[in-house]
Amino acid sequence: MLSRLTAAINKALEGHARALYRLGLRPNHMTVMGFLWALLASLAYWNWGLKWPYVALSAPILVLLSGYSDVMDGLLARSFGLQSRRGAMLDSTLDRYADLAIIVGIWAGGLCSSLVALLALSGSLLVSYTRARAEGLGVGMAGVGLAERAERMILIILASFLGLRWPYALEIGMALLASLTHLTAIQRAAYALRALGTSS
């Protein structure tokens, strides 16, 4: 759904991309930075219950920074002609590890049940897999499905902020994430099968 707003978001962040480029930062730097923010977010979720100041509050902020870095790596690449197959591979791989780290951190912190975490993780991976497999077969998948990565991160951020007040907010949020990701994977598979049926 948010993919429809991509042009407006990119336009708003063009100044950020130019500033980062002048600072010497390149797409792969932002990709790695996004992954490191996700690792820190995972640690914050893991230690959510500790009485250290601002640990819980830092978790969704770190997820937001990870998402921002993920947006900026693509924008830098497109704005300055820095796209590469190597960069695309690095980005896709570290994005999956970032998703894994965040969900494992939420589970390790006791913020959701093992079953819900497993379903959310498997759903997130299947969303990415169905897109990669379909595009490998020549079917364009941009914007297909309810819960692309941006929507998933926003859902986790909102549930995390609500979790500062309501103990079960992250359990509910992760259950919703699990449902939406598996629905998205099914949507993408169905879309690809229809497209392949007309072309084969």
pLDDT tens digit sequence for 105-126: 999 999 999 999 999 999 999 9
pLDDT tens-digit series, residues 66-79? 999 999 999 999 98
Alpha helices, H only, 80-136:
85-108, 114-136
Q: How many domains, the chain?
A: 1
Catalytic site residue from 70, 73, 91, 95: 95
Residue 40 sits in which domain range?
35-71+85-199
| Among candidate residues 122, 4, 103, the one with its CA nearest the CA of residue 63 | 103
Confidence at residue 95, expressed as pLDDT on a 0 to 100 scale: 95
The pLDDT of residue 200 is above 70:
no
Q: At CA 20, angle to CA 15 and CA 23, rounded to 5?
A: 130
pLDDT tens-digit series, residues 135-144? 999 998 877 8
Catalytic annotation present for 99: no
- The reply to whether 129 falls in a domain is yes
Which two three-digit tokens encode residue 85? 């197959």
- The reply to whether 164 falls in a domain is yes
In percent, the amount of the chain with pLDDT more than 90 equals 78
Q: What is the mean pLDDT of residues 128-138?
A: 92
